[in-house]
Structure formats: structure tokens, C-alpha cells
């Protein structure tokens, strides 16, 4: 069994916040793959199902972001799941909107949800980093993550969530790079169309200049010269 934990804050007030993209991701997986109904467990909401050959526990901590580790840690401890089999879907300020990257372990980059999970089970869990972009100033970070996605964000948000849902089995089976690539192609389908290789137009060899037709010249046949008087006389004397 593996855990797919989405991070966010509970309640309708936060449902469409950028900080809740992790909740949105696991909701999409549950919907597309017919998981069990959500039920309260491990200080969160839990749903069970299968992705390919893997049994998967989906988890949405209901402890608010800063205490996410309590919920994830409880579930991992109960099922005896190693940190490397725990996948955490979360918002990532350091990635541009619409970018998704997977990695094992690493720092928390100021993310309070990741910090809480690291405190409960160490840092060696899987991260599915879902880019929301940086507001440009540290002072604006809190208002940025706790603000709803803008209308323009739907151009990349909807296909990203669809890609995560459609290809979640690749991630569950350990093919993180393939999963990452498939999600990218869902967001940017035009990159899958390889442009046709341009070939140079066929160049015809320059025509050889026409050589003038060979004019056959006829030389006049040599005419037999009549023998002179001296020659005739000698011929009579000596014969011939």
C-alpha cells in the first residue's frame, strides 16, 4: 500500500485557494478512478482504491496546513508505510504556474505543510510539486497562497489536474518521470506534435550547354592527274 496525501486547508472558505491545489489533485484521482467515499480517519479524510496493481490510500489532512504531518504520520505509522511510499501533492512557489515536478526528499522551502510532515516522519518522502508561481515579494506570499485561483489560471489548472488524475497509476507504480511527462503533455499538447523536418527543395543539375552538331564535311575525291608527255614516254620505254 502507498499513500497519496494532498495538502490544503479544510472548509469551503479555502476550497479554491492556491494553497489547496493538493486537495484538488487527490479529489481528481478519487473521482477518475472510482475510489471509496471519503470518510473521517487519521485526523483527515481518507478514501481507498487501486491504481494499476497498487492499493492506494488517498488522504486529505483536516488539521490545517501547519499540522499536516500529524495526519500523514498517523496513517503511515498505522499501515507501516515507509516514507518513500508516501507521495505528498502540494503547491510550489518556486515553480511557474502549470509546471509539475516530482522528487524524493529535499528541503521544505518555507512550506509549512512539508515542514510538519518532515517533523513527524523525516524528509525522505515523495513530493509532487505543483507550480503556482511566486508573487515576487516574500511579504506577498501569504496573501498569494490564500487567494483563489484567478480566471486566467484555469487555462493550465484544469488540464494539470486532469493529467494528474488520468496518469496517477504511473506515479503509483514508481514511474515518476513518465507521470511527469504525461502531465506536461496534457497541459501542453502541442509539444507532442513534432514539426515536420524541412527538406531543401530538390535542385536540378544545371543543364549542359548544347554542343553544336558536328558538321560532317566531305572532301572532294582526289582526281587522277593525267600523266604528262615525259611520263608517257618513260612508260613506253620501261613499260608499266
Active-site residues: which are they? Answer: 19
Give yes or no for a contact between 38 and 158, defined as CB atoms under 8 angstroms apart. Answer: no
Helix, strand, coil tally for the chain in percent (to 5): 40, 20, 40
Give yes or no for a contact between 149 and 18, defined as CB atoms under 8 angstroms apart. Answer: yes
Q: E-strand spans in 66-107?
A: 86-92, 100-104
Pinpoint the alpha helices (H) of 68-111. Answer: 68-78
CA–CA separation, 192 and 236 (whole Å):
109
Burial 22-32 (b: 16+ CB within 10 A, else e): bbbbbbbbbeb
Give yes or no for a contact between 1 and 73, defined as CB atoms under 8 angstroms apart. Answer: no
How would you class 3 by CB atoms within 10 Å of its CB: exposed for 0-12, middle for 13-18, buried for 19 or more?
buried
Give yes or no for a contact between 72 and 59, defined as CB atoms under 8 angstroms apart. Answer: yes
CA–CA separation, 7 and 90 (whole Å):
5
Amino acid at each position: 500500500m502507498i499513500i497519496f496525501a494532498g495538502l490544503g486547508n479544510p472548509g469551503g472558505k479555502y476550497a479554491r485557494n492556491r494553497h489547496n491545489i493538493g486537495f484538488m489533485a487527490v479529489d481528481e484521482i478519487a473521482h477518475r478512478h472510482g475510489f471509496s467515499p471519503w470518510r473521517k480517519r487519521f485526523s483527515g479524510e481518507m478514501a481507498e482504491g487501486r491504481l494499476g496493481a497498487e492499493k492506494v490510500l488517498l488522504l486529505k489532512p483536516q488539521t490545517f496546513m501547519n499540522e499536516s504531518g500529524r495526519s500523514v504520520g498517523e496513517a503511515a505509522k498505522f499501515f507501516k508505510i515507509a516514507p518513500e511510499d508516501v507521495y505528498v501533492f502540494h503547491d510550489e512557489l518556486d515553480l511557474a504556474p502549470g509546471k509539475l515536478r516530482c522528487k524524493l526528499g529535499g528541503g521544505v522551502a518555507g512550506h509549512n505543510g512539508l515542514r510538519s510532515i518532515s517533523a513527524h516522519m523525516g524528509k525522505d518522502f515523495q513530493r509532487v510539486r505543483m507550480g503556482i508561481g511566486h508573487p515576487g515579494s516574500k511579504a506577498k506570499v501569504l496573501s498569494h497562497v490564500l487567494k483563489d485561483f484567478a480566471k486566467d489560471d484555469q487555462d493550465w489548472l484544469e488540464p494539470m489536474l486532469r493529467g494528474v488524475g488520468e496518469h496517477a497509476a504511473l506515479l503509483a507504480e514508481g514511474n515518476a518521470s513518465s507521470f511527469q511527462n504525461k502531465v506536461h503533455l496534457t497541459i501542453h499538447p502541442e509539444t507532442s506534435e513534432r514539426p515536420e523536418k524541412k527538406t531543401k527543395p530538390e535542385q536540378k543539375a544545371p543543364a549542359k550547354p548544347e554542343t553544336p552538331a558536328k558538321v560532317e564535311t566531305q572532301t572532294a575525291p582526289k582526281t587522277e592527274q593525267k600523266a604528262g608527255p615525259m611520263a608517257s614516254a618513260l612508260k613506253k620505254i620501261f613499260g608499266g
